[in-house]
Structure 1
Amino acid sequence: MLKLAAAFSLIAGSAFASGLEIQIEGEGANGTVKIDLFEDVAPKHVEQITALAAEGKYDGVVFHRVIEGFMAQTGDVQFGKLGEDMRRAGMGGSERPDLPAEFSDIAYDRGVVGMARSQNPNSANSQFFIMFAPGHFLNGQYTVVGKVTEGMDVVDAIKRGSGQSGSVKGQPDVMTKVTVTE
């Protein structure tokens, strides 16, 4: 019965899912990244991410902003699909509503996954970023949603941006498949 409940929660995209498995391909990174999601820390954010992943919305989305020594950002399901006009990548979200901040005491260390947002702390939607190195100036400013548990070497290989604010020139690396895991 417990397995059935867990399977239903994954299908429904609820906060009971515990992780993501991301297949990445590109000029830089090629491999799998596994992320443990923190449902107890940021339940609304985890629910939104898992729902978008279960719907296949993250499949084909690029890493549009990648800054050496800082982080790799992805998740723009509106404007960040591979093959589309990359000039708008990073400006969109999803059809779902923006989320209220769920700040915590978890530090932005290497491998931590956080939600991207605009100046408004309550504007996170679908975009997220993975830290290459500690960035404690983000602590308490951005919602932490998880941590990389496997594949940090793949994250480290993501093609770096050379444009303004870390935008990736040419063909960016892409999340080819994002799967919700138990």
Structure 2
Amino acid sequence: MALYTPEYQPSGEEIAVIKTSKGDIRVQLAGKDAPIHVGNFVELAQKGFYDNLKFHRYVPGFVIQGGCPKTRDLDTDQVKAAEGNPFAGLGTGNPGYSIKEEFSTNPNNVHEDGALAMARSQDPNSAGSQFYLCLGPQHSLDSGYTVFGQTIEGKDVIAQLRVGDVIEGIEIENANA
């Protein structure tokens, strides 16, 4: 799959407001540290890519993950029913491209509680749209997954999220025109 380079150039001031069925999460995006990931995330959010996707993976004390387009046409109960079934395909969707990893170049690639990072397959350059939020520090991930934001409000919301909860939409504050 071809690697995509986003047109959007982050200023470092962007804040993502992830609107979920459990409440809002505000994340300071790390545009200076992970410009490809932030640019990609901003573009997808502004296109409405994440609207009505569901969180499809929850590991207590580890992560809550969403952003798989294969959850779009499923309701909450269907996503819950598919959890753990590798044949359901949840967690395998992407936007039709991948982006280059930035964990090797990001000077602040640290998985703290509330960190926003991009999921990927075994190929380091396979991230696309799926993201996760850390439920506590996850430093074992620092050398293999790109962190591109840190939660500044809404850790209480993150703690309530479970498989099947809805990403109603993602708004980007302070985005360049």
The question of a shared fold, defined as TM-score above 0.5 by the shorter chain, is answered with: yes
Aligned-partner Cα distance in 1 for 2:15–2:73: 24
Residue 58 of structure 2 corresponds to residue 66 of structure 1: yes
| SS at 2:38 equivalent | helix
SS at match of 1:22: strand
Aligned CA distance change for structure 1 residues 82 and 33 (closer, same or farther; 3 Å) = farther
What pairs up with 1:28-107 in 2 under 5 angstroms?
Answer: 30-77=22-69, 79-81=70-72, 83=74, 86=79, 87-95=88-96, 97-103=97-103, 104=106, 105-107=108-110
Q: CA deviation at 1:14?
A: 3.8
Aligned with 2:134 (options 127, 131, 136): 131
Tell me what 2:10 maps to.
15
Moved over 6 A (4+): none
What TM-score does the superposition give when structure 2 sets the normalisation length?
0.81
Percent of aligned positions with the same letter in both sequences? 32
CA distance in 2, matches of 1:117, 1:19: 23
- Normalising by structure 1, report the TM-score: 0.79
2:113 is equivalent to residue 110 of structure 1 = yes
Residue equivalent to 1:153: 156
Following superposition, the deviation at residue 15 of structure 1 comes to 2.1
- 5+ residue gaps, structure 1, are 1-11, 160-167
Alpha-carbon contact 1:80-1:88 (below 8 Å) kept: no
Q: How many residues align?
A: 154
Give SS of 2:161's match.
coil
Supply the distance in 1 between the matched residues of 2:153 and 2:34 (Cα, whole angstroms).
21
Q: Deviations over 1:137-166 (max 9, x none)?
A: 10121011101110110000012xxxxxxx
Which structure 2 segments of 5+ residues have no match? 1-6, 80-87
Structure 2 counterpart of 1:122, from 120, 125, 132? 125
Aligned partners of 1:110 and 1:43: how far apart in 2?
21
Partner residue of 1:24 out of 20, 25, 41:
20
Instruction: Report the CA distance shift for 1:180/1:13 in structure 2 as closer, same or farther (over 3 A).
Output: farther
Provide Cα deviations, 1:81-108, integer angstroms capped at 9, x if missing partner.
Answer: 152664222111103x211110134321
- Offset of residue 40 of structure 1: 0.7
What do the CA deviations read for 1:43-68 (whole angstroms, capped 9, x no partner)? Answer: 01111100000000101011100110
Contact residue 21 and residue 181 of structure 1 kept, 8 A: yes
Alignment check: 8 A CA contact 2:109 2:146 kept: no
Query: Aligned with 1:149: secondary structure?
Result: strand
Matched-pair contact (CA < 8 Å) for 1:61–1:76: yes
